Chain A
Amino acid sequence: MIFHPLILALLVASGLTSFLVLYASVFGAQILRRWDLQSGSEVQLGLERKTYLISTLLAFVFTSELLSLFLFVFTADKLHTFFVGAMCAAGTFNVNGFGYPALLLKTFNFVLAGTWLILNAADIRGYDYPLTKKKYGFLLALTPLILAETFLQTAFFLKMKPDITTSCCGSLFGSSGSSVATDLASLPVPTMKAAFGLSLLLTLAAGLYFMIKSRGGYVFAALSGVNLIVSLLAILSFISIYFYELPSHHCPFCILQKSYGFIGYPIYLAVLGGGICGLGVGLLNPFRKVASLAEVIPPLQRKLALAAVILLLVFAAIVGHRLAVSNLILQ
C-alpha cells in the first residue's frame, strides 16, 4: 500500500462514513418499528429528539460522500506518476480489479445520497413527519451500498503497489482494444451528437414545462435520469475529444487535469447535480397529495427543477463553447 496522505485521508473519511451510516441504520430500524407520532410517551419523544442527531449525522455523511467522490478522482489523478504507463486517473483506476467498480459505485451512491437529502428536506418541512418512515427505509437500503463502497475503495488502495504496469487512457478508451470502455468510447459520433442534443433539449423542455405548469414531474425525472446517462456517454464518446483536439483521446479523466484548466470539475458537477435535482423532482412527486406537504412540495420541486435547468444550461454552454472553438474537425 502507498502511504500517500490523500489515500489516508480518503480511508479515514470512508471509515467514518461507514461507521456513522451503520449507527444511523440501527436507529432507523428502531424508528421503523416503534414510531408513533400520536403517542406522547417518553419513548416517542426520545425517538423524535434522536431524529435530529441522525439527520445531522446523515447530512454530514452525504456531504462527505459528495466531496469524497471528487477527492477520489483527484487522488487517482495525483497518483498516476507511481504507475508505469499511467498518464492520468484512468490508469490509476486500472491498477487492480477494484478501481473502476469503486468509482462506479461511488458515483451511484453520490446520486442516491443527493436524492436522500432532497427527501429529508421535504420531510422536515411537514408538520407530522410525513416521510420519516420512508426516509429511514431508504436509508436502510442505502447502507449496504455505502458499506460496499468503503470495502471496494479500501481494497483498491490496499492492493495498490507502486510500479505496477497499467494501461494509459489511450489504450483503455482508445479505438483499439475490446473492453466495455472501448466499445462505449467508439459509439459513432454523429449518432451520439444527435442523441445528446435531443436528450438535453427534451429534458430542458420538460423542466421548463414543469416549472411553469407544475405538471409532468415524472416525465421530467425520467428524462433527467436518461439524460444523466446519455451525457456521461457523450463525454466519453465525443465531448472529450474536442477538449483534447485528438480524435483518439476519449479519456473522461484527463479533463480534470490542470493542463485543461480543471474544466472537468464544473462539467461533472453540472451533469451530476442536474441529474440529482431532476430525479429529486420525481422522487417527491408521489407525496404531493399528503396534507402536511401540500404546501411544501410544489415550491421545493420548482426550486429543484430550476436548479436542474440552470445546471444543464451551464453544461450545455461549456460543451457548446468547446465544440465551437475547438481546433478539431471531424469528417
Chain B
Amino acid sequence: MANGFDRQKNILDFTLSSLLRRKWKNLALVFVYTLVVFLLASVMFFSYAIRREASLLLDNAPEATVQRILAGRHSPIPLAYVDRIKDIAGVHAVRGRLWGYYFDPVVGANYTLVVPESGAPEKGTIRVGAGVARARSLLAGDMIEFKTAAGDILELEARAFFSADSELVSSDLVLLSADDFLAISGGTADLVTDIAVGVRNPRELATVAEKIAARLPDTRVILREEILRTYDAVFNWRGGLLVIILAGAMLAFIILAWDKASGLGPEERREIGILKAIGWETSDVLLMKFWEGMTVSLSSFLLGLLLAYFHVFTAGSGLLAPVLKGWSVLLPEFRLVPYIDAAQVAALFFLTVVPYSVATIIPAWRASIVDPDSVMR
C-alpha cells in the first residue's frame, strides 16, 4: 500500500486546489456553516461566562443565609437571633445584614439598598452604581430624594460611584448608612433583614443548617450551593432551550450540506471520472472528499468560534443579550470575562462538525464510485 504520509499530502494538495477552483460554491457553504457555528457558540459562550461570573461572585456570599419566615412571607429577623446562632458548633462568623429594594417612581426602576459591613457611607451620603447614575443622570455631589416609610422626603448626596468593572453586581446598587436605611425602610434597630452565617468546614453545612432550623423554627436557611445549583439549572435550561430552537437552523444547514454535496455537477463528475481513469482508486477519491469536508468544516468552525468570541467578549453580545438575561429596566452594560473551556468546544464540535460530516458521507461515496471507464464512453 502507499506511503501514507506523502499520499495524504498529495491528495490534500489536489483537494485544496480543487476547492479554490470552485470558489463561490464553497464560499457560500462556508458562510452558512460559519453562521451556524457562530450562533451556537455565541449562545454557549455567553451563558457559560455569565454563569461563571455569578459563581465567582457567589464565592463571596456567605455559606448560609438565615431568613425569618412569617405566614410564608419573608420578614425582618430579630438581631437577638445572632447570639442564638453564634454558639452552634461549627459556626465561626455570624452577622446581621441590612438591605432591601427601593422603587424609584421617577425612572420606574428598582434599586438595591445595602448597608455594607464596613466602610458604610457617612450619614446623609450614598455610593451608587453606574446603572443608577445613568438613569438619574447623576454627577458627583448631586442629591437624590428618597421617600421614607414615614412619608417624608430624605435627600441623600451621591458622593461616589462604583466602577464600571463591577457593573454586573453593582449596577443598581445604592450603599448607604444604617440610619438612613432604617429611616427609609421604617425599621427599628433591633431588626435586620437577614443573618449571614459562615461555617468553618463546608461538610458540616448541612448539619449546622439543621440545627439552626431546629433552634429557630420561624426561620429558613438558604445554602450558597443551592443558589449555585439553581443558577446552573436556569442557565443550562435557557442555553439548552436556545440550542433546541437553533436546531431548526441546524437541520436546514444539514440539508443544505447534503444537497451541496450530492449535487455532483457534470464538470465535477467528469473530473472524478478522469481521476479514476488515470489511476485513482475509490478510496483515493473518498480521501479527497474527506479532506474537502474537513477543510470546510475546520475553517468554518474556527472562524465561527473566533467571531463568537469577539461578539460575546468584545462586542457585548448585542444580538443575544436580551434573550438570555431576562429583562429589567436597568440593564447593566458590562464586559464579560472571557471564559472558554474544552467542554464548550467539544459540545460545539459534536453539534456542528459531526452532523455535517455524516450528512456528507453518502454523497461523498456516491461521487467516489464513478466508474473509471465513464470517461471513455
Contacts and interface: CB of A to CB of B under 8 A. Distances in A.
B350 A82 contact: no
Interface residues of A, number: 30
A71 B346 contact: yes
Contact of A4 (B236, B349, B357): B236
Given A81-B228, A82-B229, A9 B361 contact: no
Contacts of B228: 81
Given A49-B369, A78-B343, A71 B350 contact: yes
Given A5-B344, A49-B282, A162 B351 contact: no
Contacts of B342: 74
Nearest to A57: B361
Nearest to A52: B282
Given A52-B283, A82-B233, A162-B233, A60 B343 contact: no
Contact of A8 (B237, B240, B358): B240
B368 interface: yes
Contacts of B1: 125
Contact of B361 (A6, A13, A56): A56
B44 A5 contact: yes
Nearest to B352: A9
A7 B282 CA distance: 36
A10 interface: yes
A10 B232 contact: no
Contacts of B49: none
B354 A56 contact: no
A76 to B, nearest CB: 11
Contacts of A78: 343
A125 B282 CA distance: 15
B347 interface: yes
Nearest to B241: A3
B239 interface: yes
A205 interface: no
Nearest to A49: B369
B357 A60 contact: yes
Contact of B368 (A8, A52, A60, A163): A52
Nearest to A67: B350
A8 B351 contact: yes
A56 B239 CA distance: 34
B346 A56 contact: no
Nearest to B223: A84
A53 B290 CA distance: 13
B337 interface: no
Given A52-B286, A56-B361, A162-B232, A13 B354 contact: yes
B308 to A, nearest CB: 13
B57 interface: no
A208 interface: no
B350 A3 contact: no
Interface residues on B, range: 35 or more
Main secondary structure of the interface of B (DSSP, over half): helix
Contact of B237 (A3, A12, A125): A3
A179 to B, nearest CB: 22
Contacts of A71: 346, 350
A64 interface: yes
Contact of B355 (A12, A49, A84, A163): A12
B94 to A, nearest CB: 25
A4 B44 CA distance: 10
Interface in A305-320: none
A64 B233 CA distance: 28
Interface in A1-46: 2-10, 12-13, 16, 20
Contact of B243 (A8, A10, A13, A163): A8
B347 A5 contact: yes
Interface in A67-94: 71, 74-75, 78, 81-82, 84
A71 B349 CA distance: 11
A6 B343 contact: yes
B361 A162 contact: no
* Candidate in B229, B232, B244, B347 with the most chain A CB atoms within 10 angstroms: B347
B147 to A, nearest CB: 41
B146 interface: no
B362 interface: yes
* Candidate in B228, B282, B350 with the most chain A CB atoms within 10 angstroms: B350
B365 interface: yes
* Candidate in A8, A49, A56 with the most chain B CB atoms within 10 angstroms: A56
Nearest to B231: A81
B232 A82 contact: yes
A226 to B, nearest CB: 33
Interface in B40-69: 44
A253 to B, nearest CB: 15
Contacts of B236: 2-4
Contacts of A56: 286, 361, 364-365
Contacts of B241: 3
The 4 closest A-B pairs by CB, nearest first: A3-B240, A9-B350, A5-B347, A53-B365
28 contacts: A3-B236, A3-B240, A3-B243, A4-B236, A5-B239, A5-B347, A5-B348, A6-B343, A7-B240, A8-B243, A9-B350, A9-B351, A13-B350, A13-B354, A20-B358, A49-B282, A52-B282, A52-B365, A52-B368, A52-B369, A53-B365, A56-B286, A56-B361, A56-B364, A71-B350, A82-B233, A125-B1, A162-B229
Interface of B: 1, 44, 228-229, 232-233, 236-237, 239-241, 243-244, 282-283, 286, 342-344, 346-351, 354-355, 357-358, 361-362, 364-365, 368-369
Interface of A: 2-10, 12-13, 16, 20, 49, 52-53, 56-57, 60, 64, 71, 74-75, 78, 81-82, 84, 125, 162-163
